[in-house]
Amino acid sequence: MARKLSTLPAGVRLGVAPLSWVNDVLEDLGADIPLEACLAEAAEAGYEGIELGRKFPREARVLSPILRAHGLDLVSGWYNGFLAERDVATEIAEVAAHAALLKALGCSVMVYGECGGMYPEAPLDAPLSRRLRLDPSDYAAYAARLGEFGRHIQGEYGLTLAYHHHLMMVAESFDEVSKLFDAAPASVGLLLDTGHAYGGGFDYVKLIDRFGDRIVHIHLKDVRGDIFADIRNTDRSFNEGVRSGMFTVPGDGVLDFAPLARFVRTSGYRGWLVVEAEQDPAKAPPLAMVTKAYETIAAVFAAK
């Protein structure tokens, strides 16, 4: 049964994403793993909460008792946003059901992934070099739309917008994230993803140093550096990288999580830390991997 990780500061909780069991995009990865197995193993490994995945029911009255039976809270859920391309009114209408579910399950943040402005036709299957970029003149207007959208979901649903910098999306590099958050109002929070920072070519500590006060949600993802380098150097796709194992859980890759622990301990951050690693469960047994991550995070936060 899920338990509070004793080495974490008060108000900080450890959750897990279902991506170690079932991939949201590559539907063959984990296709045979039922939701029940995912939830049971997440709780067995000790996590307090879990993010949404594609096998989760999307009705609060159905999902709530399922999570409660495993002692898990709902952490948040990814939302495919398109504000790089469309207006705020359209986005507000599109997000309603998703945001209402998060609110009903007691979430405080909503993960926003920018799917507008991406390479057309299966962008995650395109070579990494094919990523599209925002024109510098577009940042101010884009940030303003995000700000208005963030104010809406806060006022209507009590949710803070957690903007996910991400490979193959319009905010991948440190310069792009910086341009966006220099222009974005306070209603746009930052989701710090350690693995996507590495993939975007920078140390995640740069985001802590530059935008630590904007961080509202944290994804703990590790990287197998040699595999990622091969994917980048041969200009293969994000999905090929996932299948090859470029991402993994904390403690199984090249990243140092001690700076992350220092930030959480000293900054007053309150919220979730979420172990999240897109992997092939046939190659990386989920329970063993997420247990290793739990133990790694416990040890990192125990160290002084």
What local confidence, expressed as pLDDT, does residue 75 receive?
98
In a domain, 181, yes or no: yes
What mean pLDDT value characterizes the chain?
97
pLDDT of 256: 98
Q: With respect to residue 172, please indicate whether it lies within any of the assigned structural domains.
A: yes
CB 277 within 8 Å of CB 20: yes
Task: For the beta carbon of residue 62, count every other beta carbon within 10 angstroms.
Answer: 10
Q: Alpha carbon of 55 to those of 25, 76, 239, 273, 291: distances in Å?
A: 12, 15, 20, 22, 22
Instruction: Please report whether residue 274 resides in a domain.
Output: yes
Residue 290: how many other CB atoms lie within 10 Å: 26
- Domain holding 257, by residue range, is 12-302
**Residue found by looking up tokens 């939701």 in the block:** 35
Q: What whole-number percentage of the chain has pLDDT above 90?
A: 97
What integer pLDDT is reported at residue 4 of this predicted model? Answer: 75
Q: For residue range 118-136, what is the model confidence (pLDDT) as tens digits?
A: 998 899 999 999 999 999 9
- Where does the pLDDT of residue 2 fall: very low under 50, low under 70, confident under 90, or very high at 90 and above? low
CATH number of the structural domain spanning residue 216: 3.20.20.150
The 10s digit of each residue's pLDDT in 155-192 is: 999 999 999 999 999 999 999 999 999 999 999 999 99
- Provide the token pair at 46: 């000790």
Rounded Cα–Cα distance for residues 236 and 29 (Å)? 19
For 45, 81, 132, 167, 286, the CA distances from 56, given in Å and listed in that order, are 19, 20, 31, 25, 17
- For residue 229, being part of any structural domain is answered with yes
Assigned domain for 3 exists:
no
What's residue 304's pLDDT?
Answer: 73
The DSSP H or E segment spanning 266 is helix 258-267
d(CA 181, CA 189): 9
Tally of domains within the chain: 1
Q: How many residues appear in the chain?
A: 304
Q: Is the pLDDT of residue 139 over 70?
A: yes
pLDDT at 3: 64
Q: What is the pLDDT of residues 216-268, one digit of tens each?
A: 999 999 999 999 999 999 999 999 999 999 999 999 999 999 999 999 999 99
Q: Does residue 2 form part of some domain?
A: no
Q: CA 197 to CA 194: how far, in whole Å?
A: 5
pLDDT reading at 34 higher than 70: yes
